[in-house]
């Protein structure tokens, strides 16, 4: 209900009236990027204290540990992750990345960072087998795979069959040979 009460405050001017767009009375922008056109605008509103300060992301794990990010924090962190993707991972607009992560905060950061950079994200469940991962890497022509230390050995077992795969990024506290470490780069 809070969202509906304030939705016109947060939405960019060209998207403030969904009904007008659906009736073709209002133009949809030629280029739209959720990260810069929505998230960054909400971050600016939050900075100017024009809207309620609800969390942009509120994540709680099974043990009760929680992470709460404001729009400003989510925007800033997603920009840092975008720099990781375009820097050390050498990804460019239009490249594809296979992301096989549980729903942890990094999953959300990577989604927004991919939107920010124009990299196509291919989400995968952590239940994928080696054959599933190989098929997805080959069919998508992904240049990068991002996963945890649990699935890294599975990716390594099929990586030699995937010639376009150039970068492997691990979301883990520990390091792994031939993998970039997400936490270290961030």
CATH number at residue 142: 3.40.50.980
Q: What does the pLDDT read at residue 92?
A: 95
Q: Is residue 108 part of a domain?
A: yes
User: Which range marks the domain in which residue 142 is found?
Assistant: 34-181
Q: What does the pLDDT read at residue 18?
A: 56
* Number of compact structural domains in the chain: 1
Q: What does the pLDDT read at residue 7?
A: 44
Question: How is residue 77 annotated by DSSP?
Answer: H
pLDDT by position in tens, the chain (length 186): 344 444 444 444 444 555 665 666 656 667 778 888 788 888 888 888 765 678 888 999 889 999 998 888 899 999 999 999 999 999 999 999 999 999 899 999 999 999 999 999 999 999 999 999 999 999 999 999 999 999 999 999 999 999 999 999 999 999 999 999 999 999
Q: What does the pLDDT read at residue 57?
A: 87
Strand order through the sheet with 167-170: 120-124, 96-100, 144-147, 167-170, 180-181
Contacts of 67 (CB under 8 A, 6+ apart): 57, 58, 59, 105
Q: What does the pLDDT read at residue 182?
A: 95
Q: Is residue 8 part of a domain?
A: no
Task: Check if the beta carbon of residue 59 is closer than 8 Å to that of residue 67.
Answer: yes
Q: Is residue 186 part of a domain?
A: no
Q: Is residue 9 part of a domain?
A: no
Contacts of 184 (CB under 8 A, 6+ apart): 175
Tokens for 96, please give them. Answer: 């594809």
Q: Is residue 46 part of a domain?
A: yes
Give the Cα separation of 7 and 66 in Å (integer). Answer: 26
Q: Is residue 5 part of a domain?
A: no
């Amino acid at each position: 209900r809070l969202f509906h009460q304030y939705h016109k405050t947060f939405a960019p001017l060209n998207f403030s009236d969904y009904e007008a767009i659906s009736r073709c009375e209002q133009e949809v922008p030629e280029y739209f990027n959720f990260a810069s056109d929505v998230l960054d605008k909400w971050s600016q509103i939050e900075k100017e204290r024009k809207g309620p300060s609800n969390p942009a992301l509120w994540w709680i794990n099974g043990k009760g540990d929680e992470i709460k990010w404001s729009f400003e924090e989510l925007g800033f962190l997603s920009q840092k992750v975008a720099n990781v993707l375009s820097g050390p991972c050498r990804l460019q607009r239009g490249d594809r990345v296979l992301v096989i992560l549980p729903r942890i905060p990094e999953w959300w950061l990577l989604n927004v960072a991919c939107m920010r950079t124009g990299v196509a994200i291919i989400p995968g469940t952590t239940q994928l087998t080696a054959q599933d991962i190989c098929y997805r890497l080959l069919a998508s022509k992904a240049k990068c795979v991002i996963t945890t230390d649990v699935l890294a050995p599975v990716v390594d077992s099929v990586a030699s069959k995937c010639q376009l795969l150039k970068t492997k990024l691990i979301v883990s506290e520990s390091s792994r040979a031939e993998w970039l470490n997400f936490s270290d780069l961030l």
